[in-house]
Structure 1
Amino acid sequence: MVTIADVARHAGVAASTVSYVLSGKRSISPETRERVQRSVRALGYRPNASARALAGRRSNVIALVMPLRTGMHVPVMMQFASAVVTTARRFDHDVLLLTADEGPDGLERVAQSALVDALVVMDVELDDPRVPVLRELPLPSVLIGYPADAAGLTCVDLDFVAAGAHCVDHLIGLGHRALALLGTPSAVYERQTGFAQRTLTGFADAAERQGVLGVETPCEHTFEAVLGTVERLLHDHPGITGLVVQNEPIIGPLLDVLRRLGRRVPEDLSLVAICADDVAERQVPRLSSVTIPAERIGEQAVESLITKLAGGDVAELTLMPPTLTARGSSGRADDRDPATGHRERSVHRRA
């Protein structure tokens, strides 16, 4: 059985330091805390019953608030949920999954029930009505995503602004001068959901900075919607040679639509997607992509929550830097002028 002494040797710290990290009884530097937590993960250490008792009378249950709303892609959400559950079990906590869209009232109901010790909250909007309640609740919480005003909160997310910019910079580096973002369904933008809005900001700002055309359009999940959206996009902006896709369910239909329209990937149109690596890898051609690190984000959210439960300090905002992997779907633009006969300058407009 792995002991605190084993963790201490692996991390290169004193056993008392490991105990303080796990209990939160003393302030430990972020670097040392992270080193100890890495050793806990690597060795599979589990606190024994008496160590758990130090935390006091608790339910050892975390609520995962994941409202399933229009426009959301459930498989992606479940990747985050799986990571939260797996990490919580490593710390001897169970997870209560809440999927109803109950808003602030739901948070208050759960807090008053004494069923859970803490909250992980997903699907965060820029102006999220749950934020004022989270600041006042007696339970600690961590958000996967972050609102416009994140003061006093603990938030973990992918840096979606940087992700959108990375996609643009990658395509521009290949010579593309007219780009489009095929975004989430309209309902996601209308809710001002943080990840979608921040990707759009990163895309638009990078296009303007680089002096290229950047067009954004939402896209619904049906094949007919993808066909109609792409036909309109290419009719209105025939010079587009690069597509950024932030809408995982449409990736397969989009490739079918482009084949139907006689557009080869990457010879006629280059594609970069923001999606899971396994989704990018199984397409033909394999997609250049920025991966969504759902496992790491979920893990970080729970680790931060466990530290807060133990009375420790955590960073208010943790943004995971995006990683772009170039694959077969993005290639160099040819040397011809765009089909419009002229090079369109930087304008961001909705298709």
Structure 2
Amino acid sequence: MIKKTTIVDIARAAGVSVSTVSRILNNKPDVAEETRQRVLQVIEEQRFAPHTAWQQLRSGKSRFIALHFPQDFNPLSQGIITNAAMRCEQFGFTLNLIVGALSENDLLGIFRSGQADGMILVEILVNDWRVELLRQHTTNFVMIGRCADTTGLSYVDSDIGAGVTDAIEHLVGLGHRHIGFITVGRITPEKEYGFTAWARQGYHAACRRHDLPAYARTTDLTTDSVVAVATELLTQHPEITALVTPQDAAVPGILKAITACGLSIPEDISVVGLLDESFAEVMTPPLTALSFSSRTLGFTAAEMLVAQLNGAAPDPQQILVRPELCVRGSTAPARAPQMIGKGTP
């Protein structure tokens, strides 16, 4: 049977009183530094406290990192969160997930109260108040995603604009000249999601490059809204032979709309989405899709932030990860002109 180490054992081994050990454990200031370090060394040797606890006492830091993932546009990305947590733990930090809305006081309070040494921000808006607030207060934070003004900031993001460009290039190579584009999340001046903004920029730039008409639409966050908008788009523009979406949340609604219009994939219309490989492969037909590594995003964000906290990142780090276009069965050569309008209302 393993004997449990007590505070009495620590006091005896360090040659101090039990009250002195108690004051050190509670991070009280009225203890000589030499005594504090001797007691902490005994605590470490005898494993009286968890590794994280004595590191907190030694460093004066919480050893916690907060990750704020507000639920405004997308469901939680299990891959990003899990991989960020794994990397934080490898560096001796614990990741705390926050999904609720925060006020300015809430956000600053996390740092002022010592609840976290740094923060990973996710779901970045084009003009994100969280970013501006933390920048003004010179706190340690990084972004998964990016805002309009990234001067002096560190982030890792999917280069979704380049990914959408690759999707359009693929479709143009198959003879498509009328390509629709659908994003999820209504745009307001105060709340424009960065990911979809950079995706739309990529779409419009590709259309200009190939002298294509643009058919971009934005829907609400529900599948019913996606169905309605996609159906209206296909009805008003039966010349469309392909649809692209950079968000997995839009895929089910787009597929429903195509079926409702009496069209077949890929014979009548090609589809490119953003979907996890495991889901894209089992669809009928398998979905041609953009994909990016949630492991890379989570790991890299954690590494960036820990480097900041350790003083090992004097300059901002800005990394774009280009999505991979995996061509499957949902894209094919554009239908012949005489077939335009087949099955449309």
The interval holding the TM-score normalised by the smaller chain is 0.7 to 0.9
The count of corresponding residues between Structure 1 and Structure 2 is 290
Give the 3-state SS of the residue equivalent to 1:183 in structure 2.
Answer: strand
Task: Please say if 1:185 is aligned against 2:200.
Answer: no
Change over 3 Å in CA distance of 1:224–1:63 after alignment to 2: closer
Task: Please say if 1:228 is aligned against 2:228.
Answer: yes
Q: Given the two structures, how large is their TM-score scaled by the length of structure 1?
A: 0.76
Structure 2: tracts of 5 or more residues without a match: 1-50
In 2, Cα distance between equivalents of 1:276 and 1:188: 28
Structure 1: tracts of 5 or more residues without a match: 1-47, 341-351
Q: Which residue of the partner structure matches residue 322 of structure 1?
A: 323
In 1, Cα distance between equivalents of 2:295 and 2:103: 25
- Residue deviations 1:303-350, cap 9 Å, x none? 11111111112543111122111011011113426838xxxxxxxxxx
Q: Which residue of the partner structure matches residue 141 of structure 1?
A: 141
Task: Please say if 1:271 is aligned against 2:274.
Answer: no
Structure 1 window deviating more from structure 2 (197-206 vs 107-116): it is: 107-116
Task: Please say if 1:104 is aligned against 2:104.
Answer: yes
Of structures 1 and 2, the one scoring higher in RCO (CA 8 A, sep 6+) is 1
Q: CA deviation at 1:221?
A: 4.6
Q: Which residue of the partner structure matches residue 249 of structure 2?
A: 249
Q: Which residue of the partner structure matches residue 34 of structure 2?
A: none
Q: CA deviation at 1:166?
A: 1.3
Change over 3 Å in CA distance of 1:315–1:173 after alignment to 2: farther
1:111 touches 1:137 (CA, 8 Å); kept in 2?
Answer: no
Change over 3 Å in CA distance of 1:132–1:185 after alignment to 2: closer
Q: Which residue of the partner structure matches residue 45 of structure 2?
A: none
Change over 3 Å in CA distance of 1:187–1:99 after alignment to 2: farther
Amino acid of the residue matched to residue 285 of structure 2?
Answer: P
In 2, Cα distance between equivalents of 1:189 and 1:220: 16
- Residue deviations 1:110-134, cap 9 Å, x none? 1111011111011111111122222
Change over 3 Å in CA distance of 1:104–1:177 after alignment to 2: same
1:167 touches 1:203 (CA, 8 Å); kept in 2?
Answer: no
Q: Which residue of the partner structure matches residue 281 of structure 1?
A: 281
Q: CA deviation at 1:62?
A: 0.3
Give the 3-state SS of the residue equivalent to 1:289 in structure 2.
Answer: strand
Give the 3-state SS of the residue equivalent to 1:331 in structure 2.
Answer: coil
1:159 touches 1:320 (CA, 8 Å); kept in 2?
Answer: yes
Q: Which residue of the partner structure matches residue 91 of structure 1?
A: 91
Q: CA RMSD in A?
A: 2.5
Q: CA deviation at 1:55?
A: 8.1
Q: CA deviation at 1:78?
A: 3.2
Change over 3 Å in CA distance of 1:189–1:334 after alignment to 2: farther
Structure 1 window deviating more from structure 2 (53-62 vs 310-319): it is: 53-62
Amino acid of the residue matched to residue 74 of structure 2?
Answer: H
1:124 touches 1:194 (CA, 8 Å); kept in 2?
Answer: yes
Bigger-Rg structure (1/2): 2
Q: CA deviation at 1:193?
A: 1.1
Q: Which residue of the partner structure matches residue 18 of structure 2?
A: none
Amino acid of the residue matched to residue 65 of structure 1?
Answer: H
In 1, Cα distance between equivalents of 2:241 and 2:58: 57
Q: CA deviation at 1:282?
A: 2.5
In 1, Cα distance between equivalents of 2:115 and 2:138: 13
Q: Which residue of the partner structure matches residue 64 of structure 1?
A: 67
Give the 3-state SS of the residue equivalent to 1:132 in structure 2.
Answer: helix
Give the 3-state SS of the residue equivalent to 1:256 in structure 2.
Answer: helix
In 2, Cα distance between equivalents of 1:232 and 1:198: 24
Give the 3-state SS of the residue equivalent to 2:59 in structure 1.
Answer: coil
Q: CA deviation at 1:258?
A: 1.8
Change over 3 Å in CA distance of 1:84–1:172 after alignment to 2: same
Please show how residues 110-259 of structure 1 align to structure 2 within 5 Å.
110-186=110-186, 191-259=191-259
Amino acid of the residue matched to residue 233 of structure 1?
Answer: L
Amino acid of the residue matched to residue 58 of structure 1?
Answer: K
Q: CA deviation at 1:296?
A: 0.9
Q: CA deviation at 1:82?
A: 1.8
State, as a whole percentage, how many aligned pairs show the same letter: 26
Change over 3 Å in CA distance of 1:104–1:294 after alignment to 2: farther
In 1, Cα distance between equivalents of 2:56 and 2:165: 47
Amino acid of the residue matched to residue 65 of structure 2?
Answer: I
